[in-house]
Chains A and B, each alone.
Chain A
């Protein structure tokens, strides 16, 4: 059977692609990933076996951008907290204690202005948000103007001005712990951090400390490291001002379908020796 396998379609990081597996599948030609992040794969190793790789950037961007906005709004308006108040048996609360933060007209800083980051900007613009962004490279002028985004060459100036900081970068050696103690201290004490990228982009210990001591206002995390967080006493699980969601960025029926479509496109192209729509190279 192992000689027959020409393609692997990965689902949620399974199977684990290691040297042993690659050696046991001599006719493997392509691995297609059911998401956009490739940080769980050893790209150089896979490439050394002559196996091509693909991700599905087009399929995931819209639902992930929607999830980012959902988390931003939920966190700003304290949705999870107040829902529990609304349904709990103890109804005693003070109206002034459940006030949230205004979203419309606030400043959103997007860290990582790729496909997903740009879709977030399009959505935020509809809320008349002021948009700042930090990226390895600057976007074209028309792209900036279409969403009213201002480039911040230094991440510091984005952090200092933003009411909401949305992290949308890929996980690379450069972005590991991109948001640490220093960055959190640059943020406003009322600011909200939203992470829809990868848990390891944020220094989780520093984040827990910052949330406990009022260095920033709140956080909403669709991704953590690991997933799920260890159940025993992890500080992030207990904080009132944190919303954690189970990596649901791409989890909609529509997107699931589109992911499989895009992955299959890539697999068929690879097996037929044609250019792949979203090949990932090990650079």
Chain B
């Protein structure tokens, strides 16, 4: 499976009596009904770890591009109407700012490692606290309550899985807890954020800006307000989109399929 296609439903599974395995690209399996697949005796695999580094890199890229107004700046630099660069055109500093990571799994931790290179102050919220050595290695401070993280962060970066618990994790209440100068970065899943609440928050300057690699749906309908806001950067779900990583993903998926068909233990099986 690439990019959540084909849609795996009861109809499809009934029509493929000899289907043994579904190999899904990427780490997220929120688009698959695991119980349904299991009931048909079909195994599932993903490509969990190979995507982490590129996704963390993209999170950093979005944070930097947003705070330094890169997309806007490029437009100004190449626009036929530009005669000079205004002296009062400013961005916000990333180095030394506070980054709040929501979801400190493999990807979240890699973001923390990168942010440390920018001397950022790192807060994190997670279902469970990380080991002391792991926290110390990146200078991350645990926020048991997400509210504490939201109130103190200049950048809030979402790296959770999509589950019933994280659905609309960031809604009106959470956005209002954030600083009016804060930026929301989403590299997890579109549904983790209440998109309508986000649009309102951005329009009313409740938060300063957003940078989203993921939305719901993907792509957004062409008349969606998020596409028009000046303080929003949207990328088309490119977290793992590098040549090197895609190649390795394909290799891993092939390995899983071959093992599945041979009845051998499946690498990266999702249970």
Q: Which residues in A have some Cβ–Cβ distance to B below 8 Å? A: 11-12, 62-63, 65-67, 69-71, 73-74, 76-80, 82-83, 85-87, 89, 91, 93, 95, 98-105, 122-127, 227-229, 231, 237, 243-248, 251-256
Selected from A11, A82, A99, A256, the residue in CB contact (under 8 A) with B243 is: A99
Partner of B89 from A77, A102, A251 at Cβ < 8 Å: A251
B266 within 8 A of A: no
B71 touches A80 (CB 8 A): yes
Query: Does B7 lie at the interface of the complex (its beta carbon under 8 Å from any beta carbon of A)?
Result: no
Docked CA distance A256–B113 (Å): 28
Contact B76 A70 (CB under 8 A): no
* A255 to B, closest residue via Cβ: B93
By a CB distance below 8 angstroms, the chain A residues around B91 are 248, 251-252
Q: Is B132 an interface residue (CB 8 A)?
A: no
Q: Are the CB atoms of A69 and B64 closer together than 8 Å?
A: yes
Complex contact B82–A228 (CB within 8 A): yes
Whether B114 contacts A100 by the Cβ 8 Å rule is no
Given contacts A67-B68, A101-B243, A252-B68, contact A77 B73 (CB under 8 A): no
Question: Once the chains bind, are B77 and A62 in contact (CB under 8 Å)?
Answer: no
Partner of B114, one of A83, A95, A127: A127
Contact status A123-B57, CB under 8 Å: no
Shortest distance from the beta carbon of A124 to any chain B beta carbon, whole Å: 8
CA distance A76 to B61 in the complex (A): 9
Distance (whole angstroms) from the CB of A44 to the closest CB of chain B = 28
With A69-B118, A79-B70 given, name 16 new contacts (CB 8 A): A12-B87, A62-B95, A66-B118, A70-B65, A74-B70, A77-B242, A79-B233, A79-B235, A82-B235, A82-B238, A83-B71, A101-B243, A228-B83, A228-B85, A245-B74, A245-B77
Interchain residue pairs with CB less than 8 A apart (9) = A69-B64, A77-B242, A79-B65, A91-B222, A104-B53, A244-B78, A246-B77, A248-B89, A253-B93
Most chain B CB atoms below 10 A, which of A99, A247, A256: A99
Chain B residue numbers with a CB within 8 Å of A69 are 60, 64, 118
Q: Which residue of B lies closest to A73 (CB)?
A: B61
B93 touches A82 (CB 8 A): no
Q: For the complex, is B234 an interface residue (Cβ under 8 Å from A)?
A: yes
A229 to B85, CA, bound (A): 11
**Docked complex: B1-15 residues within 8 A CB-CB of A:** 2-3
- B263 contacts which chain A residues (CB < 8 A)? none
Query: A89 vs B219: C-alpha distance in the bound complex, in angstroms?
Result: 11
Q: Is the pair A102, B90 in contact by a Cβ cutoff of 8 Å?
A: no
Q: Are B93 and A62 in contact (CB under 8 A)?
A: yes
Within the complex, what minimum Cβ distance (angstroms) separates A129 from chain B?
10
The answer to whether the Cβ of B244 comes within 8 Å of any Cβ in the partner chain is: yes
